[in-house]
Amino acid sequence: MWRFGCVIVLAAGCYQPTVPERLACTDGGRCPATQACDPVYGECASFALCEPPQVTDTFDGTEPCAPWGHTFGSATAELRDGALALTPTPVNNGGCTIDAAIPFTPQGLFVEVAAVVADGFTTFAIESGQAEIQVSGGQLILTSSVFGEQGRVPYDPAQMRWWRMRPTEADGVLGEYGPDGVHWTRLGGVPIEPFLEVVFELTVETTVDAPGTAELASLDVCPPGAQAP
């Protein structure tokens, strides 16, 4: 009996089960000691889960919007010091549009916005505006050509430098913002059937002669500390 009990004790002491990866984070983002709550998926993992979508751009090439898309409209598009600079005119909107639809994965699409136009609209849109995040009149807004406005908060350039849209079962298309591309805050949800593929646009629009320039620092580029191994 003694020998049998000892074997049980020893076996129990040596057994260290592996903690499952990618379980949902508990309230407050808590996870097992060896894991962290991944902000993109809301899951516990011992590694970062951020994986760039099919199209990424650090805007350090030689031609705006290339090779994934093209410019359109009357806005001036330039590459300046690793950023896409978009300056609108009062004629109509303009910017960059993608040439072909890409998968709309749980990672979603995200953009780093270093500056917005001072007088007008700076917009990140999918599917011809069926869901879009924009800044206008000092407000960050989630809106839809189908359902109208779905969220609005006063715009804080530092805390809202990153914008993201991604598909979820609960929201359809979820719009979020954050200061660093790692920590995200809900802006609102557009209650549409999540798309399997999407086209997107980066646009600016104004009605004045000197509206200022929007600067986009990156497109779908995982920030430091959020890259997948």
7-18 mean pLDDT: 44
Q: Which two tokens stand for residue 194?
A: 């999540």
48 touches 225 (CB < 8 A): yes
pLDDT reported for residue 14: 43
172 touches 189 (CB < 8 A): yes
Q: Could you give the CA distance from residue 66 to residue 45 in angstroms, rounded to a whole number?
A: 35
58 occurs within a structural domain: no
Kindly state whether residues 192 and 141 are assigned to the same domain: yes
Kindly state whether residues 118 and 210 are assigned to the same domain: yes
Kindly state whether residues 119 and 173 are assigned to the same domain: yes
Q: Could you give the CA distance from residue 15 to residue 111 in angstroms, rounded to a whole number?
A: 45
52 occurs within a structural domain: no
57 occurs within a structural domain: no
Residue type, 126: I
Q: Which two tokens stand for residue 38?
A: 């991944």
- Number of domains the chain is built from: 2
213 occurs within a structural domain: yes
Residue 34's Cβ-count burial label (10 Å; 0-12, 13-18, 19+) is exposed
Predicted structure pTM score: 0.81
Considering only the C-alpha atoms of the chain, give the largest distance between any 2 of them, rounded to a whole number of Å: 92
Q: What is the pLDDT of residues 33-76, one digit of tens each?
A: 888 887 666 788 776 667 788 999 999 999 999 999 999 999 99
Q: What is the pLDDT of residues 191-222, one digit of tens each?
A: 999 899 999 999 999 999 999 999 999 999 98
Mean pLDDT of the chain: 88
Kindly state whether residues 73 and 41 are assigned to the same domain: no
Kindly state whether residues 80 and 25 are assigned to the same domain: no
What lies within 8 Å, CB to CB, of 163 at 6+ separation is: 110, 111, 113, 124, 133, 140, 175, 176, 177
Kindly state whether residues 33 and 108 are assigned to the same domain: no
Kindly state whether residues 103 and 6 are assigned to the same domain: no
Kindly state whether residues 36 and 145 are assigned to the same domain: no
pLDDT reported for residue 106: 85
50 occurs within a structural domain: no
Kindly state whether residues 109 and 192 are assigned to the same domain: yes
CB atoms inside a 10 Å sphere around CB 138: 9
Boundaries of domain holding 6: 2-45
Kindly state whether residues 202 and 165 are assigned to the same domain: yes
CB atoms inside a 10 Å sphere around CB 31: 18
CATH of the domain at 92: 2.60.120.200
pLDDT reported for residue 216: 98
208 occurs within a structural domain: yes
227 occurs within a structural domain: no
Q: Which two tokens stand for residue 211?
A: 């509206």
